[in-house]
Amino acid sequence: MESEAPKRNKRMMFGCMGICIGILLAVWYFLLPVWKVAKKTGILDDKVMREYKGNSMQNLKEQHTALMLYQNSEGMLPNASGWMDAIWPYMKAGDMTQEEAEKKLRNPAVTADNPLGFGYAFNEKLSEGYSDDFENPETTPLTFDSSDINRNAKGNPLQLAPSPQRPGGNQAITLEGNVQSLEDILKGKKPNK
């Protein structure tokens, strides 16, 4: 009977090893295609964060997009007192650090002299309104170059227009989404289409 015990232990050991090998092969068989697809699509690759290099015109367009997304979500434009804070979730991008995404709210002409400055303001008469409710959206400034360089700057574009003008002229984006010279917008000039 003693000779039966070692044989039985060997059979148990080989049986357990066989089961483990079978499980490993089954897992490999089912996960290999999933791994190949993940590798092919780049899911397993390290995420490359991009650097934002927008100019003032691109920043104004990004702000307009974020403001319209906010309006579609909340049913109105944000309160002028906290407009940058309100649209911040719509400014972020998965492939950008927070610092890079924040460049969309900072005017490059301002940050060259004052790295902490913003340089854009929100037209306070549009505060908590809806873009379709305003007359002349093609000549109504939404955000614009501002002499107030604080975060969440707001006010009347006539009073806050930088003087002397910024390099390339003061710019603004209209409710309609056109970037133009702030002076042309304030004079009521419609954009060239």
Q: Tell me, what's the pLDDT at 126?
A: 97
Residue type at 186 in one-letter notation? L
Q: Which stretches in the chain have pLDDT values below 70?
A: 1-3, 5, 193
Q: Are 85 and 63 a contacting pair, CB within 8 Å?
A: no
What's the angle, vertex CA 186, arms to CA 132 and CA 134, rounded to 5?
15
Residue 139 CA to residue 123 CA, distance in Å, equals 12
CA 143 – CA 119 distance, rounded (Å): 10
The per-residue pLDDT for 137 is 92
| Tokens linked to 34 | 């999933």
pLDDT tens for 117-172 read 999 999 999 999 999 999 999 999 999 999 999 999 999 999 999 999 998 899 99
One-letter identity of residue 170: N
Query: Structure tokens of 24?
Result: 């490993």
Paired with 181 in beta bridges are 171
Predicted TM-score (pTM) above 0.85: no
CA distance 18 to 189: 82
Tell me what pLDDT residue 2 has.
55
